[in-house]
Amino acid sequence: MINKTPQVNSQQDNNNDRLELVINATGASIWDWQVITGELTLDKRWAEIVGYTVDELQPTQFSTWSNNLHPDDFKKAESLLAQHFNGELDFYEVETRIRHKLGHYVWLLASGTLVERDAKGKPKRMIGTHLDITERKNNEERMLVTTQLLNESQQVGHLGGWELDLKTGDLFWTDETYRIHDTSPEEFNPSVDAGVNYFLPESKEIISMALDEAINNGTGYDLELETYTTKGRQIDIRTTCTVTQEDGISVRLAGIFQDISVNKADKRKLEKSNADLAKANSALKLSAHYDSLTGLPNRILLADRIEKAVARSLSNNKLVAIALIDLDGFKAVNDSYGHNVGDELLKKVSSQLTHVLRKGDTLSRIGGDEFVAVIRDFSDPCESDAIVSRMLESVSTTLMVEGKLLKVSASIGVTFYPLDSASPDQLLRHADQAMYIAKQKGKNRRHIFDIEEDVALKHHNEKLDRVANALHNDEFLLYYQPKVDLLTHELLGVEALIRWNHPEKGVLAPALFLPAVEHDILAIEIGKWVINTALQQLQHWLSLGYDIPISVNISPLQLEHAEFVNDLKDILAQYPSLKPGRLEFEILENSALKDIKSVSKVMKDCNQLGIHFSIDDFGTGYSSLTYLKRLPAEFLKIDQSFVRDMLIDSDDKAIIQGIIELAKVFDLKVIAEGVETPQHGELLLSLGCYIAQGYGIAKPKPAQDILTWLVEWKQTPCLVDGSV
Ligand code: C2E
Ligand code: MG
Ligand code: MG
């Protein structure tokens, strides 16, 4: 507020008014200090600045000022004052804080001059002004904080800035831009050329062009480049540029300069790990679907290819051949030259085979030396046969592997879909079965899977299973058929004949089930069961007081079996009271002839155990006299086919006569089986054969019926007509 005093018409008054106006205009307050007395005159404005009325401050002293001074500012004010008093400073000026009535501090700029000294030269009076500079100080402080914050955030973000005055050529870098360049304003004087020269060659070219564009055309940029720092450290940076133009001419360029090395490194790491991952993934995919040695599809991918080929065949009505190729002689190569050579050979063979196949066909490696070809889209098996032939040829050509000439061949099994309308899995199995037959037939050939044969095989296997179950379920039993002396009517023994007491079909003859197991290990198991059961029966009869020898039929497989004698010993050991000669074996003439040396050895071993042999069905085989001589048998059992027809067929009769003569020569006994009528018995007796077995005497019967029969036989030992 301007304090207007009454107008005085004098020069002095005018001057005073003017002074007051000026002071009011500056906003300053006036102070007047009697240094010696400490009296301090402060005006209304000063009082207002610190929140008081003038009256509240009366009387004002130096202490009015000094007591309210901010403790931190006291020393500074005092020292400046001292300097002014001693003449070091012409003018006293200090920025200090004074406590406001409300408790906060206000900033004052105190300025003043010593206007009077006493006689001794001591400061006496000083006059000056106080100016409220709180707002300016607050602004300065805010600016400082903001600048600090900006600086810190630039540091944290590695974000610098730059500015180029195109008129003067002055280049300004912010602190962070220096730091990014590993330098400081004291150490380095930035220039456009120096800055550009630090860039790596490729980046240098880019930044130079970008700068030219900015200067000449006013086009800004935002680039990610590579540069060296002033200390030679390579970094990744982002630099942008905004252009200021005046009258179409670029006058100022400014932008940011950011160190993005960490981001870039992370990005590169990420890219690298992504690439590694992609590589690993594709390797994984490859190893999951491809054979690592040959690079061919493996079994998993093959399954997929077969499925697709089958689906395609259904839609285009063409055939698919599944060919399983197994190398012959590969093991020998591996064994003689080592696995490396073996592996190389496999690679060569796989490439040979691939060349033979057409586009769209598949060659897969499914095991060591096993390959599968899926040949599609042909109308006649002959077409694919040409390819199979070429595959055979290609494998059997002599190959040079690691300096060695090697020769293998292939056995190939083929099946055709949909002629063989099996599942993909079964198709493979069928091709494998066919390949196995190709091997058995002498290798280096193909064999086509035979569906009918397969069906028969399946039936056969089912039969085997049923017989195995029967054995397991104790469904077999032994019937016994007496052998008698036609002269004395004595019971010489019984032949054990197996029956299957089938739960649904009743009692079955051996012809209905034994042939199915003839070549199977099951025949041996059944054989053991028969011997054991016969021995139990022997012992049972003995316990009842009947000493009836039992002859048991031994199958060819059983006789050939290496463990036959040992197994027999084990069984016999369970019947220690058994007398020698009570158990007899009947072996077929043909099986005895198979391997005469080992068979006669087995027979001799059995003889040692007290077991005698009959050559069964004698006359149907082709025993030479020499062989007959070497077989340690006791009986020749004339085959019933000769006996049955001897009454009407003179040839059969002659054969029987011949056998009887032969037996005499070799000191063997003769039994005739199939003696169905009393007439048969009579004729046999007249020919000199008096041991007989047949329906005319007794049909095979369960063990418990034998004793009943025996009682009857002893009472009336007559042959009956048992012909069928
Ligand atoms: P095989 O050893 O020559 O037994 C004689 C077969 O002739 C028996 O048939 C018997 O019932 C039958 N037979 C006996 N006398 C007459 C007759 O007067 N007229 C007619 N038509 N047949 C008569 P089966 O029991 O059916 O046995 C057939 C063949 O099965 C046996 O011929 C034998 O080779 C084999 N076999 C029987 N049981 C066993 C066994 O336990 N093990 C082995 N491996 N083979 C056995
Ligand atoms: Mg027999
Ligand atoms: Mg026989």
Helix spans in 411-483 (H): 424-440, 451-472
- The residue behind tokens 């974000």 is 159
501 burial class (0-12, 13-18, 19+ CB within 10 angstroms)?
A: middle
Please indicate whether residue 448, judged by its CB atom, sits closer than 6 Å to ligand 1. Answer: no
Q: pLDDT digit string (tens) for 634-693?
A: 999 999 999 999 999 999 999 999 999 989 988 999 999 999 999 999 999 999 999 999
Q: pLDDT digit string (tens) for 21-59?
A: 877 788 889 999 999 999 998 888 899 999 998 888 888
Task: Name the pLDDT band for 157 (thresholds 50, 70, 90).
Answer: confident
Cα–Cα distances in Å, from 100 out to 57, 106, 267, 536?
A: 12, 6, 58, 130
pLDDT of residue 56: 87
| Residue 688 falls in which region: left (phi positive, over 0), alpha (psi -120 to 50) or beta | left
Q: What is the Cα–Cα distance from 485 to 25, expressed in whole angstroms?
A: 165
Q: pLDDT digit string (tens) for 378-404?
A: 998 888 899 999 999 999 999 999 889
pLDDT of residue 638: 94
Q: Is 691 helix (H, G, I), strand (E, B) or coil?
A: strand
Of 281 and 80, the one with more pLDDT = 80
Q: Is 210 helix (H, G, I), strand (E, B) or coil?
A: helix
Q: What is the Cα–Cα distance from 646 to 674, expressed in whole angstroms?
A: 11
Cβ–Cβ < 8 Å for 553, 481: no
For the four alpha carbons of 133, 136, 142 and 145, in that order, the dihedral sign comes to negative
Q: What is the Cα–Cα distance from 362 to 120, expressed in whole angstroms?
A: 122
Surrounding ion ligand 2 within 5 Å at CB are 553, 586, 616
pLDDT of residue 6: 44
Please indicate whether residue 46, judged by its CB atom, sits closer than 6 Å to ligand 1. Answer: no
Indicate the helix (H) or strand (E) that contains 539. helix 522-543
pLDDT of residue 623: 66
Name the β-bridge partners of 326. Answer: 370, 411
Q: Where are the beta strands (DSSP E) in 486-611?
A: 491-502, 506-508, 550-554, 583-588
CA-693 nearest atom, ligand 1: 15
Q: What is the Cα–Cα distance from 586 to 535, expressed in whole angstroms?
A: 15
Of 54 and 418, the one with more pLDDT = 418
Cβ–Cβ < 8 Å for 233, 226: no
Buried/exposed 464-500: b ≥16 CB within 10 Å, e otherwise = beebbebbeeebbebbbbbbbebeeeebbbbbbbbbb
pLDDT of residue 670: 96
What's the token pair of residue 713? Answer: 């036989």
pLDDT of residue 624: 67
Task: Name the pLDDT band for 164 (thresholds 50, 70, 90).
Answer: very high
* Pocket probe mutation, ligand 1, options 528, 553, 613, max atoms within 8 Å of Cβ: 553
What's the token pair of residue 381? Answer: 């098996």
Q: What's the CA-to-centroid distance between 710 and ligand 3, angstroms?
A: 22
DSSP designation for 10: S
- The residue behind tokens 């040079």 is 400
Percent over 70 (pLDDT), the chain: 97
Please indicate whether residue 530, judged by its CB atom, sits closer than 6 Å to ligand 1. Answer: yes
Q: Which ligand is nearest to the CA of 637?
A: 3
Please indicate whether residue 161, judged by its CB atom, sits closer than 6 Å to ligand 1. Answer: no
Kindly tell me if the per-residue pLDDT of 363 is higher than 70.
yes
Mean pLDDT of 594-611: 92
59 burial class (0-12, 13-18, 19+ CB within 10 angstroms)?
A: exposed
Kindly tell me if the per-residue pLDDT of 284 is higher than 80.
no
DSSP designation for 546: -
254 burial class (0-12, 13-18, 19+ CB within 10 angstroms)?
A: middle
Cα–Cα distances in Å, from 594 out to 198, 613, 639?
A: 99, 16, 19
Q: What's the CA-to-centroid distance between 703 and ligand 1, angstroms?
A: 16
Query: Distance from first CA to last CA of the chain, Å, rounded?
Result: 157
pLDDT of residue 2: 36
DSSP class per residue in 35-67: TTT-BEEE-HHHHHHTT--HHHHPSPBHHHHHT
Mean pLDDT of 314-338: 95
Cα–Cα distances in Å, from 95 out to 40, 352, 384?
A: 19, 99, 108
Please indicate whether residue 617, judged by its CB atom, sits closer than 6 Å to ligand 1. Answer: yes
What is the pTM (predicted TM-score) of this model? Answer: 0.52
Kindly tell me if the per-residue pLDDT of 606 is higher than 90.
yes
CA dihedral 302, 305, 309, 315 (to 10 degrees): 150
Rg (CA), the chain: 62
Per-residue three-class SS string for 148-205: HHHHHHHHHCCEEEEEEECCCCCEEECHHHHHHCCCCCCCCCCCHHHHHHCECHHHHH
Q: pLDDT digit string (tens) for 560-587?
A: 999 999 999 999 999 998 888 899 999 9
One-letter amino acid at 659 equals: I
| Residue 581 falls in which region: left (phi positive, over 0), alpha (psi -120 to 50) or beta | left
One-letter amino acid at 100 equals: H
Beta strand 669-673 with 691-693 is: parallel
Q: What is the Cα–Cα distance from 569 to 43, expressed in whole angstroms?
A: 142
Q: What's the CA-to-centroid distance between 719 and ligand 3, angstroms?
A: 20
Nearest CA to ligand 1 atom 9: 497
Q: What's the CA-to-centroid distance between 609 and ligand 2, angstroms?
A: 20
- C-beta neighbour count of 251 within 10 angstroms: 16
pLDDT of residue 10: 63
Kindly tell me if the per-residue pLDDT of 478 is higher than 90.
yes
pLDDT of residue 622: 66
Q: What is the Cα–Cα distance from 173 to 195, expressed in whole angstroms?
A: 11
Range from 135-139, 146-150, 422-426 carrying the lowest mean pLDDT: 146-150
Of 621 and 169, the one with more pLDDT = 169
CA-558 nearest atom, ligand 1: 44
pLDDT of residue 152: 75
Q: What's the CA-to-centroid distance between 510 and ligand 1, angstroms?
A: 8
Nearest CA to ligand 1 atom 33: 553
CA-637 nearest atom, ligand 1: 3
Per-residue three-class SS string for 587-637: EEHHHHHHCHHHHHHHHHHHHHCCCEEEEEEECCCCCCHHHHHHCCCCEEE
Buried/exposed 580-614: b ≥16 CB within 10 Å, e otherwise = eebbbbbbbbebbbeebeebbebbebbeeeebbbb
Mean pLDDT of 613-625: 82
Kindly tell me if the per-residue pLDDT of 592 is higher than 80.
no
Q: What's the CA-to-centroid distance between 700 and ligand 1, angstroms?
A: 9
Q: What's the CA-to-centroid distance between 424 and ligand 1, angstroms?
A: 46
Please indicate whether residue 586, judged by its CB atom, sits closer than 6 Å to ligand 1. Answer: yes
Task: Name the pLDDT band for 249 (thresholds 50, 70, 90).
Answer: very high
Q: What is the Cα–Cα distance from 686 to 647, expressed in whole angstroms?
A: 12
Task: Name the pLDDT band for 5 (thresholds 50, 70, 90).
Answer: very low
Nearest CA to ligand 1 atom 10: 700
What's the token pair of residue 440? Answer: 């058995």
Domains of the chain, first to last: 17-132 (3.30.450.20), 136-266 (3.30.450.20), 290-449 (3.30.70.270), 463-723 (3.20.20.450)
